[in-house]
Amino acid sequence: VQLALRDRVLANSVRSNRNIERSNLLMESVHARARRQAIFALRALDLLIENETITLAIKNIEKHKQLAYAFEALETLPDTDLVRPLIRLWEHTGSTVSNDNFPWDEGLIDDDAWIRACSAFAIPPQKYTELLEKTAKSDPDELVRETAKYTLAGGTMKTLKTLPMMERILFMQKIPLFAEMSPEDLKKVASVATEKFFPDGDYLARKGDTGHEMYIVISGELLIISETGEEIARTPPGGYAGEMAILSQEPRSASVLAKG
């Protein structure tokens, strides 16, 4: 319980600085860990009191189902003083606070490599240059080191040919298909994604092909073409195509062409 509530305070201390998306990624990641700690605490309580109410509530919380009913049920338990603070972890977090109280030095040495990476991504580089330099050289995790180097270099995508992992995660967060995923789960998706470049008119897929990939547009468009060569639709940046062939395990229902 103490670990969960400590992370709630940490998450709420993240200030929206030079890049609100990066700050929010850190805030959401710490909130997600707080909720995991809360689940552990509820499971421990379940072992102690063996109450079907708490067992069902935990299942619903983990599946994001009937949360209001789950929290109402938890409020009826004898240990309400222990449980009530945990319930607040699922309340709307709102915007980040106006004062920067986040302990960046602690964030960059957190036991969780993902929290360290998010800290290195969101930290104000001019103010914490020495901390970032140390992280870039000595952190045991490659993603953390690369993120620290990227932030030190100015952290801009304008001169990059490919998206760094952390920028890729921010990009995917904006796509409706992934909007409900936690930052750490999104990291798993981003880590298996690869970037490809297609000249105008290149086919990414043809009707009837077996589908093993889906495509997310970073820049340019995808043209969805019927069997007769007619343009059915266009997929703009942030859009995606080809997912149905993966989900249905059926041949591609249309061809996909690159534009821009």
Q: What is the pLDDT of residue 61?
A: 85
What mean pLDDT do residues 207-235 have?
A: 89
**Is the pLDDT confidence value at 108 over 70?**
yes
Across 80-97, average pLDDT: 72
Taken as a whole, the chain contains a residue count of: 260
The answer, yes or no, to whether residue 158 has pLDDT greater than 60, is no
pTM beyond 0.95: the answer is no
- Asked if the model's pLDDT at residue 155 lies above 70, the reply is no
Predicted confidence (pLDDT) per residue in 236-256, tens digit? 998 998 888 878 888 888 899
How does pLDDT run across 1-59, given as a tens digit for each residue?
999 999 999 998 887 555 788 999 999 999 999 999 999 988 888 888 877 888 888 88
Give how far the C-alpha of residue 111 lies from the chain's centroid of Cα atoms, to the nearest Å.
19
Look at the alpha carbons of 39, 8, 66, 62 in this order and tell me if their dihedral is positive or negative: negative
Write the CA distances from 72 to 36, 42, 66, 122, integer angstroms: 19, 14, 10, 36
